[in-house]
A and B are shown apart, each in its own frame.
Chain A
Amino acid sequence: MFLQKYRKAGFKQKFMFWLGLTLVLSIGVFSIFAPFITPYSPREIVGGSQNPPSLKHPMGTTKLGYDVFSKTIYGSRMAFTAGIIASVLALTFGLPLGLVSGYTGGFLDRLMVMLMDALYSFPGLLLAIIITATIGPGVFNAALAVFVVFTPQYFRVVRNHTLSIKQETFVEASRALGASTLLILIRDIFLNVVQSIPVIFSSNAASAILVLAGLSFLGLGITPPTPSLGYELSAAQRYLDNGIWWRALFPGIFMVMIISGFSFLGEGLNEILNPPADQG
C-alpha cells in the first residue's frame, strides 16, 4: 500500500520523507553509539576555559572546561529518548481512549471531549510548567508532563477518525453479521486508524521534544548533571555577552536537526499517503 503510493508521489514529497528519515535515523545512531562517537565524557573537565572550536574540541569548551561536542551528543540522546518515550506513553493512553470514546458515543464521549478539548486549548508549555513546578524537575517528571500535554492530541485525532470510519459500510456489515463491539473496534476500526499513526506520531514527537526543550531551558525539565540541550542553551546565554557563540550554536543546531527531522518525516509521510489535490 505504502509502496504504491510512494511511487506516485512527487519529488518534493519524497525529498521531505527522506530528509526526515535520514535526520531521525542519524540522531538515533548518534544516540545509540554516543559513548563511541564522543571523544570525552560530558561530565569531566577535559580542556581549557572557553576555548573556541579547534581540532581537539570541534565545538569548543565551556567556562569550566567541559567539551561542548560531548555535551551536545549526550544532550541529543536525552532529548531523543525522552521525547520518544513521552510520545509513546501519550499514544498508548490517547489511542484506546479515542477509539472507545468515538465508537460508543453518548454521555461518556461528550464528557471526554470536553475534558480533552479544555486541556488541548491550553498552551502545552504552560501546562507542562505547572506540572513540573509542582512535582519538581528531572527527566522522569518532565516526560510525565509532556505525556499529559500530548494525550489529548492523540485522543482528538483518533476519536475523529473513529467517528468517520464508524459510518462506513463495512462496519455496518460486521455489525449485521453479529460481530461483538470489541471485535469491530479491533478489526475494523483500530486497523484503519492505525494507518494514520505514523504521521501524527512524527509531528507530535517533534512538538514533544520542543516542549521538553523549553522546559529544560527554563530550568524545569532535564537538569544537570543529566546532559540536556535545553539546559545547555540556558547556560550558554549567560556567556553570550562575552561573544562565546559556540556554546549556543552547536547544541541549538542539533536541537533543530532532531525536531525538524521528525517534522519533515511526518510531513513527507502525510503528503505521500494523502496526496494534496493541487499537485499531481
Chain B
Amino acid sequence: MLKYIFKRVLLTLPMIIILMTFVFIVIHSAPGDPATAMLGPRATEDRLNKIREQMGLNKPILQQYFDYIISTFRGDFGKSFVTREPVINLIGSYFPATLELTIYATGVAIIVGLGLGILGAAKSGGVIDFACHTYGILIYAVPVFFSGMLLQLVFGIFLGWLPSSGRIAGSVPVNVTGLYTVDCLITGNWSSLVSSIKYLLLPSITLGLFISGFFVRMTRTNLLQTINKDYTRTARAKGVREITILFKHAFRNALIPVMTIVGMQFALLLGGAILTESTFAWPGLGRFLVLSVNNRDYPAVQGIVTFFAFFVAFISLLIDVLNAYIDPRIHY
C-alpha cells in the first residue's frame, strides 16, 4: 500500500508541474507584461520599473519560471498586489467557505443522484426511468447562475424564506476549522448554526443539483449492471424479494464507483463553485479569484490558480488511494 501511494505521488508531480508551466506561460503572455496590464497604459516608466522589480519581472524569464516553481513548493504563493498580503494567507481565509459549499453540494448531489438513480434502475425501461434519464441531461444544461437566480427569486424574493446572498447573519463563530457549520457545532453556538445553515441552503442546492445529473446516470448504469450479475440472479431464484435484492445485493456493489464519480466530477464541481459563489456573493476562493481578475491582481490570480492545481491533484490522488483501499480487485 505504501509503495502504491508513493508511486501515485510521483505520478502527480509532473501533472502539477505541467499545470504550473501552463499557468506561468499564460500569465506571462499578457499583452505588454503583467506590470503594464496592472497599472494601465498611462503609468509612468518609473512606477512600472518599481513594480517590475517587486514582482521580479526584470529578471530573465527562465529564472522567473524557476523562482515561481521553487517558491511555490516552499509554500510561497506570492504576494497580492492589492492588499500586499501573502496570497497563501488570503487563500487560508477564503478557502474554507469554498470547501464548506462544495461538501454540502456533494451531499445534495449524492442524495438526489442515488435516489433518482435507484428509482430509474428499479423501474428500468419505464416512464419513470425515462424521466430520470431526461432529468440527468436537462439539469446539466441549466447553468448554475441561472438555476441559482431562479431559486433566489422564488425562495429569497417572492417567498422571503431564505437569504439569497452572503454566508451568515449575526456573529461569526469562533474560527476552528473555518467551516461555519462545524465551528458552530464545536463551540455550541446554536443561533449562528441556524443562520449559517439558512445561508448555505440555496447555494449548496444550486451547485448540488448541477452535478447531480451525472450521479443519476452513473448510479443507474452501475445498478443495472449489478442487477444482471449472477449473484443477484441466484438471489432472485431463491425467492428473495425484489426490494431486498435491489438494496442488499445490487446497491452495495454499485456504491463502490460512487467514490470514483465524486472524483471524476470534481473539476466540474470546482468550476460550478466559482459561478455559484459569484451568484450568491458567497465569500469563497472562486469569488475572490474573479475579484482579483477584475482588479488585475496578477500575483493573486497566479497564486490562487496554482493552489487550485494542487488541490485538484490532491483530490485525484486521495480518491485513487481510497479506491485501492476499498476495492480489493485493484492491485498495487
Chain A residues with a Cβ under 8 A of chain B = 12, 16, 114-115, 117-119, 121-126, 129-131, 133-136, 206, 210-211, 213-214, 217-220, 230, 233-234, 236-237, 240-241, 243, 245, 248-249, 252, 255-256, 259-260, 263-264, 267, 278-279
Contact = CB atoms under 8 A, between A and B. Distances in A.
Given A126-B274, A217-B275, A219-B294, A206 B141 contact: yes
Closest 8 pairs (CB-CB, A-B): A260-B141, A125-B271, A259-B141, A252-B146, A118-B18, A123-B271, A133-B293, A123-B267
19 contacts: A16-B134, A16-B137, A118-B18, A121-B316, A122-B267, A122-B308, A122-B312, A124-B271, A126-B308, A129-B293, A131-B26, A133-B301, A136-B31, A211-B271, A219-B294, A230-B143, A240-B152, A259-B142, A260-B137
B294 to A, nearest CB: 7
Contacts of A16: 134, 137
Contacts of B41: none
Contact of B278 (A115, A135, A217, A260): A217
Contacts of A243: 153, 157-158
B41 to A, nearest CB: 13
Contact of A240 (B125, B141, B153, B289): B153
A248 B130 contact: no
A135 B30 contact: yes
Contacts of A249: 150
Most buried by A among B31, B146, B279, B309: B146
B158 A264 contact: no
Nearest to B145: A217
B268 interface: yes
A217 to B, nearest CB: 5
B26 A236 contact: no
B113 to A, nearest CB: 17
B14 interface: yes
Given A12-B130, A118-B19, A134-B29, A240 B140 contact: no
Interface string B297-310: 00001000100110
Contacts of B149: 233, 236-237, 240, 248, 252
Contacts of B23: 130
Interface residues of B, number: 54
Nearest to B140: A263
B15 A123 contact: no
Nearest to B279: A237
B286 to A, nearest CB: 9
Contacts of A264: 137
A217 B15 contact: no
Given A210-B143, A243-B157, A130 B125 contact: no
B312 A121 contact: yes
Given A126-B274, A133-B301, A256 B137 contact: no
A36 B262 CA distance: 46
A119 B21 CA distance: 11
Contacts of A217: 143, 145, 275, 278
A177 B279 CA distance: 61
Given A233-B149, A243-B158, A279 B293 contact: no
Contacts of B142: 252, 256, 259
A273 B150 CA distance: 36
Interface of B: 14-15, 18-19, 22-23, 26-27, 29-31, 37, 124-125, 130, 133-134, 137-138, 140-143, 145-146, 149-150, 152-153, 157-158, 164, 224-225, 228, 267-268, 270-271, 274-275, 278-279, 289-290, 293-294, 301, 305, 308-309, 312-313, 316
Contacts of A114: 14-15, 18
Contact of B30 (A123, A134, A237, A263): A134
A91 to B, nearest CB: 21
A53 to B, nearest CB: 15
A252 B157 contact: no
A134 B141 contact: no
A218 B275 CA distance: 8
Given A210-B143, A237-B279, A256-B146, A126 B271 contact: yes
Most buried by B among A12, A123, A125: A123
A255 B157 contact: no
A279 B27 contact: no
A129 to B, nearest CB: 7
B18 A214 contact: no
A263 B137 contact: yes
A53 B26 CA distance: 44
Nearest to B125: A279
Nearest to A23: B141
A121 B267 contact: yes
A249 B134 CA distance: 21
A123 B141 contact: no
Contacts of B157: 240-241, 243
A124 B266 CA distance: 11
A126 B137 contact: no
Contacts of A241: 157
Contact of B133 (A12, A115, A125): A12
Nearest to B217: A267
Contacts of B278: 217-218
Contact of A233 (B26, B145, B290): B145
B283 to A, nearest CB: 16
Given A218-B278, A255-B146, A123 B294 contact: no
Contacts of B301: 130, 133
A61 B250 CA distance: 54
